[in-house]
Amino acid sequence: MRVVRVAVTAGLLVAAAGAVGAMRAATRLDRLHVRTDAAWAALDAALCRRARAVRELEGSAALRCAADAALLAGADGLALRAGAAVREEIENELGRALAVLDRYGLKPSRAGRLADAQQRVVIARRVYNDAVRDTLALRSRRMVRWLRLAGTAAAPRYFEIAEPALPSYGLELDGAGA
């Protein structure tokens, strides 16, 4: 009798510990999904800001087209899940158009706004990809996969665009390509 009781108690303890662990992981996962979504919102805003800064310039037709496409993509909410690859392509197109832009011909205030907007895209993309990396790391854990703790939430996806070759130091613009 006594042996059975001990075995049952031990079994219950293990189950309880497992449940606590699973709940913790679920909470963390939920927090990470929210962090990723919030980081996406920030990246989306930074991309739209860059497109608006480009739209402000009296640039070439190609540049205007690329900026319009990016603005449309932003307005359509072409988000990380549906159409992420399309959005990446559109933003890369804009990046390429910007890479060949001669900044020294621009008004200093506009060039400054553009450089600021570009820098913010770089920051926001790192913030977003960091959130994705942490989320994917937790989702790949065995317990999370077996217990399906992620539920129906789709796995987040890295946002991969070529970064402009901003100088390592300082804010001066060298206009070098991506």
Partner 1 sequence: MVCPYSLATPGGVQAHVLGLARGLRGLGHQVEVLAPATAEHALPEFVTSAGRAVGVPYNGSVAPLAFGPVAVNRARRWLRDHDFDVLHLHEPDSPSLSLIVLALADRPVVATFHFATARSWALAAAHGLLQPTMEKITARIAVSPLARRVQVECLGGDAVEIPNGVDVSHFARAHPLPGYPRAGGTVGFVGRFGEPRKGMPVLLAALRTVARSRPDLRLLVVGHGDATALRRAAGLALASRIRVLGAVSEAGKAAALASMDVLCVPAVGGESFGIVLSEAMAAGTPVVASDLDAFRLVLDGGHAGMLVPAGSPTALSAALDDLLGDPDRRAALAAAGRARAAMWDWPVVARRVLQVYETAVAADPRRYRAG
Site of interaction with partner 1 (CB under 8 A): 24, 28, 31-32, 34-35, 37-39, 41-43, 45-46, 116, 119-120, 122-124, 126-131, 133-134, 137-138, 168-172
Shortest distance in whole angstroms from residue 129 CB to partner 1: 6
> Nearer Cβ to partner 1, position 63 or 131?
131
- C-alpha to C-alpha distance for 20 and 24, rounded to whole angstroms: 6
Q: How far is the CB of 127 from partner 1 (least distance, A)?
A: 5
- CB 159, min distance to partner 1, A: 12
Please enumerate in sequence order all residues whose Cβ is within 8 A of that of 125, keeping only pairs 6 or more positions apart, or say none. 43, 46, 159, 161, 163
Cβ-based nearer residue to partner 1, 10 or 141? 141
Q: Which residues contact 11 (CB under 8 A, 6 or more apart)?
A: none
Query: Is the CB of 46 or the CB of 67 nearer to partner 1?
Result: 46
Closest separation between CB of residue 170 and partner 1, Å? Answer: 4
DSSP element (H, E) containing 40: helix 2-55
Contacts for 91 with CB less than 8 Å, ≥ 6 apart: 47, 70, 73, 161
